[in-house]
Structure 1
Amino acid sequence: MSESSSSNYRSSTSRTTTSTIQGSMWSPSYYLNLWNRSFSEPDAVDETSKTLLRLTEKYGDTHPTFKTGSYNEALSHAKSNFKFLLVYVHSQAHPDAQSFCKDVLFTKDFKEYIDTSFVFWVCDVSTSIGLRMSNQLGATTYPFLSMIQPIVIPGNQNLHHEIFQGTSLLSKSNVMTKINEVTSIYEPLLISARADHELREQDRFIRQEQDEAFLQSLREDQEKERIKREKEEQERLEQEQLEKEEQDRLEFERQLIERKERKQKLYIDEPTKSATTTKLVFRLNDGSKVQRNFLESETIEYVMDYLDTLIPDPIENYILSTHYPKKQYHNLNNTLKEEGLVPDAVLFLSEK
């Protein structure tokens, strides 16, 4: 719409509407911070719900989608969705308001038209919220519609506020024409605001994706570092275990050698053949053969200690036995005489 046509429009509707802030009968301070103003609304949801219920019971369910809750909530919803807010203040006592509801508001095509691009909020002048909104928006007669552009214009903290009231609202085509004329003037601002919002959201989404990618990369690096530390710790423990086993093995071998060396000193002197000795021949596990004289009073353990000095492995892993008759010697405390290994015998050393 051109400036001249916009001016003509304002002039032609001056009897029934208040178009812009500059042409309003109200002071500019009235519109200041309309977006942030907090109304002290008693039970806004309850009062609004009752108003909607009364209207639908009387006029039916075919109507624009009514936004429930407070005015500020409706305005916030309109702003976040980049839509105009239409506020309808109803007066049950005014006959023109009845005609507006029946012939305009509660019709299918008006519902479809409003639901496409507007947020619609309703109050009743008979309620505390409705009376306050009627005074705040400057209603002088009914039916009354206020069309609010919810985006603050740069350099101006006031919200644009357009009102339509009285008999000019009794024609559906007239109402839609007036709304279209105002929409054509201020819709570019909403479109621009939506584009800026979408650009900011796109930038935010990109930053979020970048942050998520960074965090994912960080988590992966941390997981790799954790696995690396666990692997190094496992290798360290395994190495310590190997070193301990090697130390234990060396210590065992050392102790084994020392034990064998101590035992060797006990068998330096071999008893000479006599009536109290026996001659024992041993077949070792590696196939070699040795023989030695022992006193009849010596024990099986004494003989095993002697054999311990002849083999590299611990004697505890072996057992002494005869082939025929087959016998194993488990009782280490029995003497050679008690076991019948006199005056001589052949014994075999084999693994247990």
Structure 2
Amino acid sequence: MSEPGGESLETESEANAALLNNLPQDKKESVETFISVTRCQSVEEAVDRLASVGWDLERAVDLHISGESFPVNRPPNNSENGVRENPTIPRQEIGTGVIEQTGSNTASSRSRPSTLFQMTISFFLAPLRALIKAAASLLRFLFVGPRSVSRPRIEVARRAAREFAQQFESEYGSIHPTFFQGCFLDALNYAKQQFKFVMVYLHADRHYLTPDFCRDVLTNEQLVGFINENFIFWACSVDSAEGRHLQVSFRATDFPYIAIVTVAQGRRNAQVLESRQGAMESDELTEFLVQTLERHGEILNSARLEQQRHLETRQIREEQDVAFQRAIEEDRARLEAAAQAEAARKEEQVRLEREKEEAELERERLERRRQLKLREIEEEAVKGDSDTVTIAIRQSDGSRMERRFRKENTIRQVFDWVDTRGIDIDKICLVCNFPKRRFDYTKDGHWKLCEIDQGPHLVFFIEDK
């Protein structure tokens, strides 16, 4: 048997979740923040109040805390709030937190034409209404300008924290916990990096216990050292905007108020681990802080281990990336070296084939030249004739060849005879010792044998050029 009201609460929770899931992401976050700060129990109420101030989260929270009434606004339709049409979501009465089922066909805020005449008039007036609306939008843009976008007043909160720290030090001296110079969100982020909890002190300047607490407790040197070593100390006045927000969010009803806050793993919003409010001595506050560390220290240890695992995982990934890049570079270098070696091999092969082809062409050219000279060379001179000279050619290997020429023959004809014997005359010179002379086929071919020596015998040595 279900408890009384259990079905109604379950229906309300399902309706809130359905309505929240139908919001765009930015407005969903605004609704969640508004509910977290104001402790509003109804998603529908939060949507209506945010819509009434144009989704200005700062202004909505300020109006809620100050107790001022929200602007009267016509019931938000789906296009303005970014809620997709879903007739199954029930309508919720503003401010009651109670879901009232009104059926799937609730009356719209704008009446629909119910007769043929009204429908006809509405049809013909629709373009006129659209034109008037466009003209109004244009005039508002020209004379008023575009609507400003509300941004979190982070700098205002930071400045308020700095001013409070200066005021505290001017009133109570320089011995105090080290104030974190930033807004509450900055303190949370910094504490998360340092693996510490945030110790929040909400200062109520007009409370009768505040002066004694600040003068006797927060200036205790032993306590100050313990706080600075184990916590990030953040304080603000409840007279500031951020102080009022936190007072409502933390439900602080008495002062001085101390809260130990952290951002739990996997959560976005701050989580109050322990809090204490009202009169307290320095030893009582010290015991409270020690017990808090003992009770919740595992959160910090888990965060450190998670950070260490994250760093180790990132280091392993970076090492793997470096090794992978090195392997890629080595493979690329290996492929480039192989490609260069293959290109060099092919180039060498082409060169050898070209040289072989050129050598073959040169051999054929020399052979044709020799054949031509064999046909053109004169017959050997008659032995014993006074006009005959015997030419002896000594080669570098010691071999010897002879032939008779007429003294009127030239040294060029001797070269041609040597050429027919298979010696490349383009690469040699003929040298005689008596007298010592060196003959080149091209330059000295015009010399007659009788001009070189009148004797019947003439010896030449073959030398390379």
When normalised by structure 2's length, the TM-score is 0.55
Equivalent pair of 1:281/1:346 in contact (CA under 8 Å): yes
Equivalent pair of 1:78/1:150 in contact (CA under 8 Å): no
Shift in alpha-carbon separation, 1:258–1:90, aligned structure 2, 3 A: farther
What is the SS of the residue equivalent to 2:179?
coil
> Within 2, Cα distance between the matches of 1:126 and 1:94?
12
Which of 224, 228, 236 lines up with 1:123 in the alignment?
A: 236
**Deviation (angstroms), 1:102:** 3.6
Shift in alpha-carbon separation, 1:122–1:233, aligned structure 2, 3 A: farther
1:287 has 2:429 as partner:
no
When the two chains are superposed, the root-mean-square deviation of aligned CA atoms in Å is: 4.2
- Give me the identity figure in percent: 25
Structure 1 stretches of 4+ moved >6 Å: 273-276
> Within 2, Cα distance between the matches of 1:308 and 1:153?
99
> Within 2, Cα distance between the matches of 1:64 and 1:241?
85
Shift in alpha-carbon separation, 1:191–1:28, aligned structure 2, 3 A: farther
**Deviation (angstroms), 1:281:** 1.0
> Within 2, Cα distance between the matches of 1:318 and 1:220?
54
Which of 189, 206, 215 lines up with 1:76 in the alignment?
A: 189
Equivalent pair of 2:411/2:444 in contact (CA under 8 Å): yes
> Within 2, Cα distance between the matches of 1:106 and 1:319?
114
Equivalent pair of 1:74/1:119 in contact (CA under 8 Å): yes
What whole-Å deviation, never above 9, does each CA across 1:275-317 have from its counterpart, x for those lacking one?
9965241323243031232462x543343232222243x2122
1:320 has 2:430 as partner:
yes
Gaps of 5+ in 2: 1-35, 43-57, 59-150
Shift in alpha-carbon separation, 1:321–1:200, aligned structure 2, 3 A: closer
> Within 2, Cα distance between the matches of 1:190 and 1:28?
31
Which of 243, 260, 271 lines up with 1:159 in the alignment?
A: 271
1:147 has 2:159 as partner:
no
> Within 2, Cα distance between the matches of 1:100 and 1:234?
88
Give the structure 2 partner of residue 334 of structure 1: 446
When normalised by structure 1's length, the TM-score is 0.70
What is the SS of the residue equivalent to 2:228?
helix
1:259 has 2:372 as partner:
no
Shift in alpha-carbon separation, 1:276–1:42, aligned structure 2, 3 A: farther
Give the structure 1 partner of residue 338 of structure 2: 228
Which of 25, 39, 50 lines up with 1:27 in the alignment?
A: 39
- Paired letter, 2:411: I
- Paired letter, 1:249: A
Give the total of aligned pairs: 319
Equivalent pair of 2:37/2:246 in contact (CA under 8 Å): no
Which of 187, 196, 199 lines up with 1:86 in the alignment?
A: 199
- Paired letter, 2:402: V
Which of 240, 252, 269 lines up with 2:379 in the alignment?
A: 269
Shift in alpha-carbon separation, 1:246–1:132, aligned structure 2, 3 A: same
Shift in alpha-carbon separation, 1:234–1:94, aligned structure 2, 3 A: farther
> Within 1, Cα distance between the matches of 2:378 and 2:162?
116
Equivalent pair of 1:97/1:142 in contact (CA under 8 Å): yes
Give the structure 2 partner of residue 307 of structure 1: 418
> Within 2, Cα distance between the matches of 1:305 and 1:280?
16
What is the SS of the residue equivalent to 2:402?
strand
> Within 1, Cα distance between the matches of 2:156 and 2:266?
32
- Paired letter, 2:375: K
What is the SS of the residue equivalent to 1:42?
helix
Equivalent pair of 2:265/2:303 in contact (CA under 8 Å): no
> Within 2, Cα distance between the matches of 1:25 and 1:349?
117
- Paired letter, 1:83: K
Equivalent pair of 2:38/2:249 in contact (CA under 8 Å): no
What is the SS of the residue equivalent to 1:279?
strand
Q: What are the residue-to-residue correspondences of 1:47-196 with 2, within 5 Å?
A: 47-56=160-169, 59=172, 62-90=175-203, 96-125=209-238, 129-130=242-243, 132-134=245-247, 136-140=249-253, 142-151=255-264, 159-160=271-272, 162-168=274-280, 171-196=281-306
Equivalent pair of 1:82/1:194 in contact (CA under 8 Å): yes
**Deviation (angstroms), 1:50:** 4.4
Shift in alpha-carbon separation, 1:340–1:216, aligned structure 2, 3 A: closer
Equivalent pair of 1:336/1:342 in contact (CA under 8 Å): no
Equivalent pair of 1:152/1:159 in contact (CA under 8 Å): no
> Within 1, Cα distance between the matches of 2:270 and 2:164?
29
Higher RCO (CA 8 Å, separation ≥ 6 residues): 1
What is the SS of the residue equivalent to 2:438?
strand
Gaps of 5+ in 1: 1-23, 31-36
**Deviation (angstroms), 1:323:** 1.0
> Within 2, Cα distance between the matches of 1:339 and 1:57?
127
Shift in alpha-carbon separation, 1:101–1:344, aligned structure 2, 3 A: farther
Equivalent pair of 1:152/1:158 in contact (CA under 8 Å): no
> Within 2, Cα distance between the matches of 1:44 and 1:65?
18
Shift in alpha-carbon separation, 1:124–1:284, aligned structure 2, 3 A: farther
